[in-house]
Homo-oligomer: A and B are copies of this chain.
Amino acid sequence: MKFSLLKTSTECNARAGSVTTDHGTIDTPIFMPVGTQASVKAISPEDLDEIGAQIILNNTYHLYLRPGPGLIRKAGGVQKFSSWNKPILTDSGGYQVFSLSDFNKISEQGFEFRSHLDGSAHLLTPEHVVEIQRDLGSDIMMVLDECVPYPCDYDYARKAHELTVRWAEKSLNAFKKSTSAHDFEQSLFAIVQGSVYTELRQASANALLELDFPGYAIGGLSVGEPKSAMVEMTHVCTEILPKEKPRYLMGVGKPEDIVEAIERGVDMFDCILPTRNGRNGTVFTSHGKVNIKNARYKDDFGPLDADCECYTCTRFTRSYLRHLYNAKELLVLRLLSYHNLYFYLRLVNQARQAILDDRYLAWKKEFYNHYHQDTSIS
């Protein structure tokens, strides 16, 4: 993996760059659609190409349990398995152990949990997580970390960050001792933790820096903390993280969160919002969010977003999309998810162009002038 920094804003920390992997080059800042189970919900690989997706995220926890890393290794890696021949990033599974599994216990060794599918018992160690991702063949692998909830007291946050650093070292050792199961290179990113405590975030970033990973993620945000804390913690981390390496803000977020984080020097994002909101009938437009179920759209024969050139907006009306949603027609889940992903990819693409033109703050102002924020839906 190679990261090239093409331009840094003279007004703020926003940067434009590119990440090159054996499955292709990613223009940063980038948004990664989430394909939890090796499929972006309701969206085909061809759709992703049309939308402009350059890298997607898959969930290690899910693929570990089903269909299992052995099968995906046998298929030639998760790219071949899912017929997506561009880069893939896999998370570590730690977050899902907390949020999905029936039972979990954390120890120095790792996570003990029971599968949400069949109740079977599993132990996920930092080394095991590296091994699983070797089988999956993701271009970018993530270390196992302990992501704490919000709010979280200082002492617990400190212990979790320290454990995350020890696990990062174990992960890196396991990574260095292993080789790719496939004929392409894989990279391992570390994850900064520390909740909303500046000194913990600094300690975490500095400790991980010493281990010299090729890229760094900021984890444990967008878990319920105030937006100001998310922005501030992002800033604290990017101030320390090396300029010559990519920075990934995990699980973030709303369009406005992404705009703020790009300003603070973040390069990569993932979030389930565009697909989940799409399936719930909520779409992002250049003027803000639209709930397609609303009765006012019954005979609105205009597009979802007049400024959008995606398949959904150029071909279908709000009236028809509302009908499909009310009639529980499967097609609408695809059409709304497609539009929302297109919106997110266009957003980061426009942000990148603004950075290259060294007018990021002016672009950001234009974005907010049109985009009506709504904090009621997270």
Interface residues of A (CB under 8 A from B): 37-46, 62, 66-67, 71, 74-75, 81-83, 298-299, 301, 311, 315-317, 319-320, 323-324, 326-327, 329-335
Contact A75 B319, CB 8 Å, known A44-B335, A334-B334, A335-B44 = yes
CB < 8 Å neighbour of A41 from B43, B44, B329 = B329
User: Do B327 and A37 have beta carbons less than 8 Å apart?
Assistant: yes
B83 touches A323 (CB 8 A): no
Count of identical protomers in the assembly: 2
In the complex the two chains form, is B41's CB within 8 Å of A330's CB?
yes
* Further 6 A-B residue pairs, CB within 8 A, beyond A67-B298, A82-B320: A39-B324, A45-B315, A46-B311, A75-B299, A75-B301, A81-B319
Contacts of A301 on B, CB cut-off 8 Å?
A: 75
Q: How far is the CB of A275 from chain B (nearest CB, A)?
A: 10
Contacts of A298 in B (CB 8 A): 67, 71
Given contacts A41-B330, A330-B333, contact A83 B319 (CB under 8 A): no
The CB with the most chain B CB atoms within 10 A, among A40, A315, A320, is that of A320
Q: Verify A42–B315 contact, CB threshold 8 A.
A: no
Which one of B37, B311, B317 lies within 8 Å of A75 (CB-CB)? B317
Within the complex, what minimum Cβ distance (angstroms) separates A261 from chain B? 29
A83 to B368, CA, bound (A): 33
Closest 10 CB pairs of A and B: A42-B330, A37-B327, A39-B329, A67-B323, A83-B315, A39-B331, A83-B316, A41-B330, A81-B320, A39-B324
Q: Are A323 and B41 in contact (CB under 8 A)?
A: no
The distance from the CB of A338 to the nearest CB of chain B, in whole angstroms, is 9
A42 to B332, CA, bound (A): 8
On whether the beta carbons of B43 and A331 are closer than 8 Å, the reply is yes
Given the interface pairs A320-B81, A320-B83, the reply to whether A299 lies near B71 with Cβ below 8 Å is yes
A sample of 20 cross-chain residue pairs with beta-carbon separation below 8 angstroms, ordered by A number, consists of A37-B323, A37-B329, A38-B320, A39-B329, A41-B329, A41-B330, A42-B331, A43-B331, A44-B311, A44-B335, A46-B311, A46-B315, A66-B327, A67-B319, A75-B301, A75-B320, A83-B315, A83-B316, A330-B334, A334-B334
Q: Is the CB of A66 within 8 A of B326?
A: yes
Chain B residue contacts of A332, Cβ below 8 A: 39
- B66 and A323 contact, CB distance less than 8 A: yes
Which of chain B's residues have a CB closer than 8 A to the CB of A329?
Answer: 37, 39, 41
In Å, the complex CA distance between A37 and B75 comes to: 39
Residues of B within 8 A of A317 (CB): 75, 81, 83
CA distance A344 to B213 in the complex (A): 53
CB-based nearest B residue for A47: B331
Q: Which residues of B contact A71 (CB under 8 A)?
A: 298-299, 319, 323
Cα-based distance from A134 to B247 in the complex (angstroms): 59
With both chains docked as a complex, state the minimum distance between the C-beta of A340 and any C-beta of chain B, in angstroms: 14
Taking CB atoms, residues of chain B closer than 8 Å to A330 are 41-42, 330, 333-334
Measured CB to CB, the closest approach of chain B to A336, in angstroms, equals 12
